[in-house]
């Protein structure tokens, strides 16, 4: 397993060795559309509003489309994100959807839904069935997404109605720990061909239940997506999209405590690693409703517009005992941090985009511009008490939440946070020559923060920020099959503190890269090298530990490789590998003694230096297909002092698919083939948030 980074690196070098030997013109035809690969000529998605392809955009872009999601057995949109270069995603309670990418984590990675940047914990992994693709853009991308996005952006795109007359698909699966799933998708034309107004509807429904490998933890989740596409005229269409998600988890797992002494590589008691120290009535619940109204209008052959009006309503309830630590002799687990909270969130907004093709001094150019207005309001009703008690890890009664001193049913409002954003943006692509193009863009945001306290002892807060961000990039297509690019981009991030007045923190990135096909189009590859700087975020004042200073600085540099190669007509190899060197350049931390310590030069927590994925797929016969996969994640630090480490891990998997007929297939899949014990995330307690052991799954999928 220790050799996997080398193997991933060698695989990543394969396309570049082949590039030196033979580059060939790109060929695109209808049959190739469903062929696995990087698909450099597909839409770049949210990476640009200019309608460019991945190849044409001077930025690092990776996409896991619906075919990738199904072939790799991604169960959630977060599983799909983990197949993209450099992404390490997990879902520890209290952190929503945690992402580490390009040396940055948490709010420095923007997670969007259908191009909409939302606040709050909505990035918890939802079942993948209703999603069409996951898009990734590397580095600062506030131009597209607004505030945030210093390390990169992920966009989760829901399936929408298409102009197919009829398409039906379904899936049924069963696996280890009584995991069951049932899903149905239907796309249907509601009007007869030739009607003056055409309507097409799509409905996707999935339900998943499982008991998981953790004692007492159970999950039940529903996802529903409905959309209605109406072609009102040959040039005007409207899409109504509705989504409903409901997730209920009993006794959520908060982590496995590490053994004493806590120094160097952290250890756990593997015998008790599946113990759940949460209370018996621990809960996590989330209900989300989305509504979008999308208008697409072709004004003429050169000009189009799109307008998206949307509403989001969500409610999240938590009730858990969250922190667990061993006693000095490791005989008792001390539990604490009883936390109950309700988050009620609502976001309303509108995005307007206009795109126009023209020419300037005889040079072809494309313009895109527009505005965005949104209001996000979240009301928190927390209850936080010590909840301290001790249990024997070998024999214990988990107890109940309301038996803990200081707890009580019900929710009392604490504060409502409302963020109003008004933004203007413009983007342009200018073809300087047939081979060289220039991409530029600017965005202005006016962000108003209004915090209303519902308690007498807390003040109301008002803040305003007006960041300007942008991007400039050059792409040179030196032969039809290959290009090189250089890019400079910036980002802005609003402060998290509401007690002190800070300006936005800023980020900037230089990136160079190449995207190309090789070996007569049997392979495609991308490579990117980058350097990112983030500065002026809040850190503890070394002279006054009760205050913060906006002088923090952080940086990262790295390389990302990705390739897909049809080695033989039957054998497909795909993979990616990312290396990053991340550090704090100016960062102070207040430790338990009350002293303030500099962490300059240290690596941020939960940031692996290397992440790699590899897939091999072989068509045994026309009816049988099999494959193996591997994922490597390097060790991470569990503390800012970089004295506690969580070991690296390698996961292997395999699958075998039998095509019953042209409509139906049966797939057997084994995940974590070697039953590796590994931590997906390191809690600050510290504790391991463990990944799943070896699991088996059988799935039947049909499509008409």
143-152 pLDDT per residue, tens: 888 887 899 9
CA distance 484 to 490: 20
The arithmetic mean of pLDDT across residues 508-514, rounded, is 98
Kindly tell me if the per-residue pLDDT of 338 is higher than 90. yes
CA distance 371 to 146: 11
Q: How many CB atoms lie within 10 A of CB 496?
A: 12
Kindly tell me if the per-residue pLDDT of 613 is higher than 60. yes
| Beta-carbon-side half-sphere exposure of residue 273 (alpha carbons within 13 Å) | 16
Kindly tell me if the per-residue pLDDT of 31 is higher than 70. no
Q: Give me the residue label for tokens 């039809």.
A: 480
- In this prediction, residue 538 has a pLDDT band, given cuts at 50, 70 and 90, of confident
The arithmetic mean of pLDDT across residues 253-262, rounded, is 95
- In this prediction, residue 1 has a pLDDT band, given cuts at 50, 70 and 90, of very low
In whole numbers, what is the pLDDT of the chain averaged over residues?
Answer: 91
The arithmetic mean of pLDDT across residues 566-585, rounded, is 97
The arithmetic mean of pLDDT across residues 14-19, rounded, is 41
Kindly tell me if the per-residue pLDDT of 33 is higher than 50. no
- In this prediction, residue 35 has a pLDDT band, given cuts at 50, 70 and 90, of low
Burial class (CB in 10 A: 0-12, 13-18, 19+), 16: middle
Task: Point out which residues pair with 465 in neighbouring strands.
Answer: 447
Of the listed ranges 13-22, 51-60, 137-146, 353-362, the least confidently predicted one is: 13-22
Kindly tell me if the per-residue pLDDT of 372 is higher than 80. yes
The arithmetic mean of pLDDT across residues 229-256, rounded, is 96
CA distance 42 to 496: 37
Kindly tell me if the per-residue pLDDT of 5 is higher than 70. no
Q: Which residues contact 416 (CB under 8 A, 6 or more apart)?
A: 377, 378, 379, 380, 451, 452, 454
CA distance 660 to 612: 33
Kindly tell me if the per-residue pLDDT of 161 is higher than 80. yes
pLDDT of 20 reads 37
631-680 pLDDT per residue, tens: 999 999 999 999 999 999 999 999 999 999 999 999 999 999 999 999 99
Calculate the CA dihedral of residues 393, 399, 401, 405 and round it to 10 degrees.
Answer: -90
Cα 285–Cα 315–Cα 689 angle in degrees, nearest 5:
40
CA distance 620 to 570: 7
Give the 3-state secondary structure of residue 270: helix
H or E element: which one contains 436? strand 436-453
- In this prediction, residue 120 has a pLDDT band, given cuts at 50, 70 and 90, of low
- In this prediction, residue 194 has a pLDDT band, given cuts at 50, 70 and 90, of confident
The full DSSP string for 620-649 is: -SSSEEEEEEEEEE--EESSTTS-EEE--E
CB 164 within 8 A of CB 187: yes
CA distance 669 to 74: 11
pLDDT of 30 reads 35
CB 587 within 8 A of CB 600: yes
Q: Measuring CA to CA, how many Å separate 234 from each of 137, 231, 363?
A: 33, 7, 30
- In this prediction, residue 16 has a pLDDT band, given cuts at 50, 70 and 90, of very low
Kindly tell me if the per-residue pLDDT of 95 is higher than 80. no
For a pLDDT cut of 90, what percent of the chain falls above it? Answer: 82
3-state SS record for 95-147:
CCCEEEECCEEHHHEEEEECCEECCCCCCCCCEHHHEEEEEEEECCCHHHHCC
pLDDT of 593 reads 84
Kindly tell me if the per-residue pLDDT of 12 is higher than 60. no
Kindly tell me if the per-residue pLDDT of 4 is higher than 80. no
The arithmetic mean of pLDDT across residues 373-378, rounded, is 96
CA distance 607 to 99: 9
Kindly tell me if the per-residue pLDDT of 358 is higher than 60. yes
Kindly tell me if the per-residue pLDDT of 450 is higher than 80. yes
H or E element: which one contains 20? helix 4-21
Q: Which residues of 39-54 are buried (b: 16+ CB within 10 A; e: fewer)?
A: bbebbbbbbbbbebbb
Q: Which two tokens stand for residue 701?
A: 């999928």
What values do phi and psi take at 145, rounded to 5? -110, -10
Q: Which two tokens stand for residue 451?
A: 């915090």
Q: Which two tokens stand for residue 555?
A: 């940086």
| Beta-carbon-side half-sphere exposure of residue 461 (alpha carbons within 13 Å) | 19
pLDDT of 502 reads 85
Higher per-residue confidence, 427 vs 5:
427
Q: Which two tokens stand for residue 347?
A: 């976001």
What values do phi and psi take at 499, rounded to 5? -100, -20
Kindly tell me if the per-residue pLDDT of 15 is higher than 50. no
pLDDT of 146 reads 82
267-288 pLDDT per residue, tens: 999 999 999 999 999 999 999 9
């Amino acid at each position: 397993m220790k050799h996997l980074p080398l193997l991933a690196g060698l695989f990543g070098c394969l396309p570049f060795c082949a590039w030196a030997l033979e580059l060939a013109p790109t060929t695109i035809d209808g049959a190739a559309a469903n062929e696995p690969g990087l698909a450099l000529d597909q839409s770049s998605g949210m990476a640009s509003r200019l309608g460019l392809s991945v190849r044409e955009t001077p930025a690092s872009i990776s996409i896991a489309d619906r075919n990738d999601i199904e072939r790799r057995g991604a169960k959630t949109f977060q599983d799909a994100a983990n197949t993209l270069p450099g992404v390490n995603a997990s879902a520890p309670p209290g952190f929503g959807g945690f992402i580490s990418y390009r040396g940055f984590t948490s709010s420095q990675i923007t997670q969007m839904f259908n191009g909409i940047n939302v606040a709050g914990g909505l990035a918890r992994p939802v079942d993948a069935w209703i999603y069409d693709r996951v898009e990734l853009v590397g580095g600062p991308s506030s131009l597209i997404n607004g505030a945030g996005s210093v390390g990169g952006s992920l966009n989760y795109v829901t399936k929408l109605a298409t102009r197919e007359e009829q398409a039906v698909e379904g899936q049924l699966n069963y696996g280890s720990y009584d995991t069951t799933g049932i899903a149905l998708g239907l796309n249907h034309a509601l009007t007869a061909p030739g009607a003056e107004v055409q309507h097409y509807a799509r409905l996707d429904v999935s339900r998943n239940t499982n008991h998981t490998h953790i004692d007492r933890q159970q999950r039940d989740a529903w996802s529903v997506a409905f959309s209605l596409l109406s072609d009102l005229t040959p040039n005007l269409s409207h899409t109504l999209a509705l989504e409903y998600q409901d997730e209920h988890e009993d006794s959520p797992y908060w982590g496995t405590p590490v053994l004493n002494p806590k120094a160097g590589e952290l250890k756990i008691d593997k015998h008790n690693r599946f113990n759940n120290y949460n209370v018996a009535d621990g809960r996590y619940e989330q209900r989300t409703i989305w509504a979008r109204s999308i208008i697409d209008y072709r004004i003429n052959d050169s000009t189009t517009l799109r307008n998206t009006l949307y509403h989001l309503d969500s409610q999240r309830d938590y009730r858990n005992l969250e922190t667990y630590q061993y006693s000095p002799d490791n005989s008792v687990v001390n539990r604490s941090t009883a936390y109950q909270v309700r988050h009620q969130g609502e976001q309303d907004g509108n995005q307007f985009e206009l795109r126009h093709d023209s020419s300037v001094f005889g040079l072809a150019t494309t313009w895109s511009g527009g505005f965005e207005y949104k209001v996000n309001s979240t009301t928190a009703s927390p209850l936080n008490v010590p909840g301290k008690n001790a249990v024997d890890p070998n024999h214990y009664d988990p107890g109940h939440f309301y038996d803990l001193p200081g707890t009580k049913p019900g929710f009392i409002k604490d504060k409502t946070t409302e963020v109003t954003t008004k933004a203007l943006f413009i983007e342009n692509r200018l073809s300087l020559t047939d081979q060289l193009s220039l991409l530029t863009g600017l965005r202005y945001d006016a962000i108003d923060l209004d915090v209303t306290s519902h308690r007498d002892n807390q003040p109301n807060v008002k803040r305003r920020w007006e960041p300007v961000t942008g991007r400039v990039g050059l792409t040179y297509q030196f032969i039809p099959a290959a290009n090189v690019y250089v890019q400079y981009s910036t980002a802005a991030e609003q402060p998290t503190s509401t007690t002190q007045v800070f300006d936005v923190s800023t980020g900037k990135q230089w990136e160079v890269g190449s995207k190309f096909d090789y070996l007569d189009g049997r392979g495609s590859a991308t490579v990117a090298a980058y350097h990112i700087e983030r500065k002026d975020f809040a850190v503890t004042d070394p002279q006054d530990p009760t205050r913060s200073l906006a002088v923090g600085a952080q940086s990262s540099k790295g390389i990302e490789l990705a390739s897909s190669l049809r080695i033989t007509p039957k054998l497909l190899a795909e993979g990616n590998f990312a290396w990053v060197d991340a550090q704090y350049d100016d960062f102070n931390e207040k430790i338990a003694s009350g002293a303030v310590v500099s962490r300059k030069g240290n690596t941020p927590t939960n940031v692996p230096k290397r992440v790699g994925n590899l897939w091999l797929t072989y068509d045994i016969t026309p009816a049988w297909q099999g494959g193996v996969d591997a994922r490597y994640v390097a060790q991470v630090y569990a503390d800012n002092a970089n004295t506690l480490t969580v070991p690296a891990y390698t996961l292997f998997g395999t699958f075998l698919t039998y095509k019953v007929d042209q409509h139906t297939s049966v797939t057997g899949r084994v995940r974590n083939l070697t039953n590796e014990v590994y931590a997906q995330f390191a809690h600050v307690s510290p504790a391991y948030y463990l990944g799943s052991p070896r699991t088996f799954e059988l799935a039947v999928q049909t499509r008409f």
